[in-house]
Amino acid sequence: MYDLIIVGAGAAGLSAGLYGVRYKLRTLVIGEVIGGKGMEAHLVENYPGFLSISGSELMRKFREQAEEFGAKILRGKVVEVRKEKGNFTVRTLDDESFESKAIILAMGSERRRLNIPGEDKLLGKGVSYCATCDGPLFKGKKVAVIGGSDAAVKSALILSEHAKEVHIIYRREKLRAEPLLTEKVLSIPKVKVVYNRVPVRVEGKEKVEALVLKPFKGEGKEEEFPVDGVFIEIGDVPSTSIAKELGVKLDEEGYVEVNPKTMETNVKGVYAAGDITNVTKFKQFITAASQGALAAYSAYLFLKGGKK
Amino acid sequence: MRKKVLIQIITSPTCPYCPLAVEMAERVSKALDVDFEEVSVATQKGLELARKHGIMGVPAILINGKLAFEGVPPSDLYLARAVKKEMENV
């Protein structure tokens, strides 16, 4: 029996793991990807203490520090968390079960999909959600990035190292990424921005051949835009299926509702941290890590019988 | 007799999920006593393999030259099952 099981092993989960063991809790962190979505970050230049570090390296350091102090970190896909007689049972896809007295939900978020025809069919055939991963496969090709946020612009920057042409397709009139990033991407001749357009479908038989676009505002015909790759960067949705089944309350946008002072949810003994919560729209390594620390502290107070 | 099965993991140098697939292949190949190799798309061999199989996302896993997984398999069991199936065919 563990004192604390943390579901999710990204910045929030690993930080909670570190704080859990620092409070002498028997702590298990289970996650599908150790390091979580932070692994995809090309360069992190806003995590204090590191001038510039890759997401995977930063997450490796998080993991090493938590393990150094005694957290057990396990790779696995959690399919269910059940509450029985005050304790929790966590079950994985491989049918392993673990028990604990408290839970921290830190499953983060998953990529928001466009939900347009062709997107699913051509996933892995030119449609991608990870420029860091798949960029090198598009050497000399023409690619599109859908979105106008930091993530979209960062993807365009990565892709410009490999592709022949990079087209950012954005529905608004101006990119909304950090000014520094925007300036950088707009200075690269092979990167072009197509404003006021949204994708309607992805076309291709065996692989992506074109995107079909239409104006976001105003009237206008659909037009075909030939590309070899489509990178979708339109934000994230919280991964809350386990939380829902456990009876955890979500807000109207689907994020886990927590008390921001304690990170506790409506279910006694269940806390949440990181991108999955409704605390802030500002999804950063540092905000996830701080929520993880706070959730672990609250779980500790709960377990020792103090105030939650 | 040792069954001749080769697991090939197609990776890219910057792919954060690729090491997970490589580690998994390492464990499974050891447990089932089969061979495995990592082939990066940054090499000519990797790029050719990717093109031949129409791979446009990494990691991808080939078992005896057949595309078995695109992305990291959900767990070791899934990869082991696919390898065992191939072992029956050789």
DSSP A234-262: S-EEE--HHHHHTT--B-TTSPBP--TTT
| pLDDT recorded at residue B32 | 94
Residues of chain A with Cβ-Cβ distance to B77 below 8 Å are: 94
| pLDDT recorded at residue B50 | 92
Banded model confidence at residue A306, pLDDT cuts 50, 70, 90? low
- Nearest-Cα distance to chain A for B60, in Å, is 9
| Distance in angstroms (rounded) separating the CA atoms of residues A120 and A203 | 11
Helix H or strand E encompassing B66: strand B66-70
Helix H or strand E encompassing B45: helix B44-52
Question: A58 vs A86, which has greater pLDDT?
Answer: A58
Interface contact flag, A94 B76, Cβ < 8 Å: yes
- Nearest-Cα distance to chain B for A91, in Å, is 14
- Nearest-Cα distance to chain A for B1, in Å, is 29
Residue B19 vs residues A233, A264, B23, B44: alpha-carbon distances, Å: 23, 34, 6, 20
Q: What percent of chain A has pLDDT over 90?
A: 83
Region B15-23: mean pLDDT is 88
Banded model confidence at residue A189, pLDDT cuts 50, 70, 90? very high
Say which of B56, B72, B74 has its CB closest to residue A134.
Answer: B56
Interface test with B, best of A43, A122, A127, A130 (most B CBs within 10 A): A130
| pLDDT recorded at residue A235 | 87
Is A194 part of the contact surface with chain B (CB cutoff 8 Å)? Answer: no
Say which of B20, B70, B75 has its CB closest to residue A124.
Answer: B70
pTM: 0.80
Interface contact flag, B16 A126, Cβ < 8 Å: no
Q: Is the pLDDT of residue A307 over 60?
A: no
DSSP-derived letter for residue A223 is E
Region B24-33: mean pLDDT is 95
B37-50 pLDDT, tens digit each? 999 998 999 989 99
Interface contact flag, A206 B71, Cβ < 8 Å: no
- Tell me which residues of chain B, numbers 13 to 32, contact chain A at a CB-CB cutoff of 8 Å: 13-18, 20
Is A304 part of the contact surface with chain B (CB cutoff 8 Å)? Answer: no
Interface contact flag, A128 B50, Cβ < 8 Å: no
| pLDDT recorded at residue A220 | 84
- Find the distance separating the first CA and the last CA of chain A, reported in whole Å: 21
Say which of B42, B50, B57 has its CB closest to residue A133.
Answer: B57
Handedness of CA A26, A31, A33, A37 (dihedral sign): negative
Banded model confidence at residue B1, pLDDT cuts 50, 70, 90? low
Mean residue pLDDT across chain A: 94
- Contacts with A10 (C-beta within 8 Å, 6 or more apart), sequence order: A31, A33, A35, A36, A37, A38, A59, A106, A108, A274, A275, A288
| pLDDT recorded at residue B63 | 96
Residues of chain A with Cβ-Cβ distance to B11 below 8 Å are: none
Q: Is the pLDDT of residue A12 over 80?
A: yes
Question: A40 vs A170, which has greater pLDDT?
Answer: A170
| Distance in angstroms (rounded) separating the CA atoms of residues B82 and B60 | 14
Burial A182-195 (b: 16+ CB within 10 A, else e): bebbeeeeebebee
Residues of chain A with Cβ-Cβ distance to B43 below 8 Å are: none
Banded model confidence at residue A308, pLDDT cuts 50, 70, 90? very low
- Nearest-Cα distance to chain B for A128, in Å, is 7
Q: Is the pLDDT of residue A117 over 70?
A: yes
Residues of chain B with Cβ-Cβ distance to A206 below 8 Å are: 54
Residue B41 vs residues A244, A271, A301, B29, B47: alpha-carbon distances, Å: 40, 42, 50, 22, 5
**Token reading at A46:** 């806003």
Among all residues of chain A, which has the CA nearest to that of B54?
A125
**Distance, CA of A103 to chain centre:** 20
Region A7-13: mean pLDDT is 98
Interface contact flag, B58 A76, Cβ < 8 Å: no
| pLDDT recorded at residue B75 | 84
Domain boundaries, chain B: 13-64
- Nearest-Cα distance to chain B for A60, in Å, is 11
A66-109 pLDDT, tens digit each? 999 999 999 888 999 999 988 999 999 888 999 999 999 999 99
Cis previous bond, A117, omega within 30: no
Handedness of CA A295, A296, A302, A308 (dihedral sign): negative
Residues B37, B6 contacting (CB under 8 angstroms): yes
* Widest Cα–Cα separation across chain B: 38
Region A32-58: mean pLDDT is 90
Interface contact flag, A124 B13, Cβ < 8 Å: no
A268-291 pLDDT, tens digit each? 999 999 999 999 988 899 999 999
CA proximity to A61, closest of A86, A79, A78, A44: A44
Banded model confidence at residue A42, pLDDT cuts 50, 70, 90? confident
